[in-house]
Amino acid sequence: MRATGAERAGGSGGRVPAGTVPGGVAVFAVLGDPVGHSLSPAIHNAAFRAVGRQAVYMARRVTSEECGPVMRSLALAGGGGNVTVPHKEVVLPFLDHHTEAVASTGACNTFWAEQGAVWGDNTDVEGFRRTWEAVTGGLAGAADALVLGAGGAARAVLLALCEAPVPPRIRLWNRTEAKARALAVHFGEERVEVLQDCGGTAPEVVVNATSAGLDGRSVPIELARLAGTPRCVIDLVYGKEPTPLCRRALDLGAAAVDGREMLVRQAEASQVRWFGKPPPRGVMTRACE
């Protein structure tokens, strides 16, 4: 069965929300490999504390074989959680129901149970949509976007951009061009234009959905090689320091937003799926900082 994220977000009527464990503490977790760097426990636990919720959120490193069964047992015990790299696709067969965002991206990052059935959603889509709105709200006119990458994060970004009320012009570049071409076919080649080389383009907004920069050194492309300086760079990567791409953007005089913005927004959307309402405004952002 499928439902939209909006239906899930508004659909708590009558159901027992996740996190309701009579007399006990509900357990939530981010499942992935690696998970040691994840900020998800800090931001979700801050939100639980802020409303006095009897719940705890932890990071659990799991193999791809373990991930689906662990996900189901957490959800069916009254908890829930998130799935991260590299398991967002392998858990799909373990879901009983999923949203349209999961169907369109082929990835699940949020799970919980309702009436004995395990649900999955992909709140990266809403997380990016809200980041895009916050960033481009300050730009006059429709923005023109260059998306870098063709993995799971790029799928969420492309879905959010294609579904925007005023979709931007979308150009897509990936190190392995064939994967970008496959994504353009999936989302519609009339909507997504694949570039072999970004050199001659002058996008207003550059979105980094590659994992380049996780090492603290690499960049997916050299921004200085673009035909014009973008107004803003949205980097999905985050770390303790500004990411290499954000540093390059700031050096060129562009605005830059790193992956913590989207992390907080997708986490807020996850809490809506679990509890039917978002955490108090700002709690997760402050925990992130």
Ligand X SMILES: NC(=O)c1ccc[n+]([C@@H]2O[C@H](COP(=O)([O-])OP(=O)(O)OC[C@H]3O[C@@H](n4cnc5c(N)ncnc54)[C@H](OP(=O)(O)O)[C@@H]3O)[C@@H](O)[C@H]2O)c1
* Nearest in space to 46 (alpha carbons), one of 36, 57, 38: 57
CA–centroid distance for 182 within its chain: 21
> What span, in angstroms and rounded, lies between the C-alpha atoms of 180 and 154?
9
Token pair recorded at residue 203: 């996008």
Measured CA angle at 209 (ends 237, 87), to 5 deg: 85
Pick between residue 55 and residue 148 the one whose CB is nearest to ligand X.
148
Pick between residue 182 and residue 202 the one whose CB is nearest to ligand X.
182
CB of 234 to ligand X, least distance (A): 10
Q: Which residues contact 175 (CB under 8 A, 6 or more apart)?
A: 210, 220
Pick between residue 99 and residue 174 the one whose CB is nearest to ligand X.
174
Residues that bind ligand X (CB under 6 A): 85, 124, 127, 149-154, 174-176, 179, 209-212, 214, 218, 220, 236-238, 259, 262-263, 266
Pick between residue 9 and residue 113 the one whose CB is nearest to ligand X.
9
CB of 271 to ligand X, least distance (A): 14
> What span, in angstroms and rounded, lies between the C-alpha atoms of 280 and 283?
6
Cβ atoms 193, 187 nearer than 8 A: no
CB of 16 to ligand X, least distance (A): 28
Is 88 considered catalytic here? yes
Burial of 165 (0-12, 13-18, 19+ CB in 10 A): exposed
CB of 111 to ligand X, least distance (A): 16
Q: Which residues are catalytic?
A: 88
